[in-house]
Amino acid sequence: MRDVSKFYGNIKALEGVSLEVHPGEITCVLGDNGAGKSTLIKIIAGLHQHDTGGFAIDGEEARLGSPREALDRGIATVYQDLAVVPLMPVWRNFFLGSEPTKGRGPFKRLDVAHMRRTTHSELLRMGIDLRDVDQPIGTLSGGERQCVAIARAVYFGAKVLVLDEPTAALGVKQSGVVLKYVAAARDAGLGVVLITHNPHHAYLVGNRFVLLKRGTMAGSHTKEQLELDELIRQMAGGSELEQLSHELERAPSPHLGGGITG
């Protein structure tokens, strides 16, 4: 993406944002709420189209008209609120909307054995040893559900995997599990876009970092160009945070009056 902008009427959602995604690398997009991360995801996923700037896939200019078109071009997006059916088995969710069948005509039916077997083997290939793919996906932890979604995208031929805040609602241990499978997707040759507001998670797995602030780029770096401390400083606002620190130091201590008399 080169100098991409998106406007909703008079509202500037994104302005002049550039982004590179390469096979076998993780590009992290960092920013607070309202920074423009959601708009960026929607453009990459084909939900919205950019107004100005360039968007190229494999060197060819693109203007995606729908999420299906994005999928056909190899771009899979896994949203924070995963689109799963909690009471359905893991294997059914893995193939949801793309169920293989066997037989013909009136004898056509779902190939359940193939779906069970494939789900188990694909999860195992990503390092997820799920004992029972018949269990409802709602019984899995949030981290495990994220991992199933990642394995599904890899299986269905994604070249680019966009992950929307995959660790936002998870604890430290589950976040570590998800980051491990994000790295596995990278090692499988996918280009990964990791949307996050957590610089620690980003620095653990990222190769490139794009910082957004109020719809504009606040920075773009490779891992070789900055240390974690500098990423945290930029993410936190840098000079703004220092200014706030000085203001807080100068702020007079609130004077509390005497006790309540009865």
Q: 123-165, pLDDT tens digit by residue?
A: 888 778 888 999 999 988 888 888 888 888 889 889 999 999 8
**Superfamily of 2-83+157-250 according to CATH:** P-loop containing nucleotide triphosphate hydrolases (3.40.50.300)
SS3 of residue 91 by DSSP: helix
The alpha carbon dihedral of 188, 163, 159, 221 has a sign of negative
In this prediction, residue 242 carries a pLDDT of 61
Whether the predicted pLDDT of 231 surpasses 70? yes
Judge contact between 76 and 44, C-beta under 8 A. Answer: no
Instruction: With a cut of 90, say whether residue 110 has pLDDT above it.
Output: no
Return the higher-pLDDT residue of 94 and 255.
94
Q: For residue range 45-80, what is the model confidence (pLDDT) as tens digits?
A: 999 999 999 999 998 998 898 988 998 999 999 887
Task: Report the C-alpha gap between 91 and 16 in whole angstroms.
Answer: 42
Do 96 and 145 touch, CB atoms closer than 8 A? no
Tell me the three state secondary structure of residue 152: helix
What order do you get walking across the sheet with 11-17 strand by strand? 11-17, 2-8, 52-54
Range with the lowest mean pLDDT among 18-22, 117-121, 153-157? 153-157
- pLDDT band of residue 194 (cuts 50, 70, 90) is very high
Q: Mean pLDDT over residues 99-104, rounded?
A: 83
User: Which pLDDT score is estimated for 239?
Assistant: 58
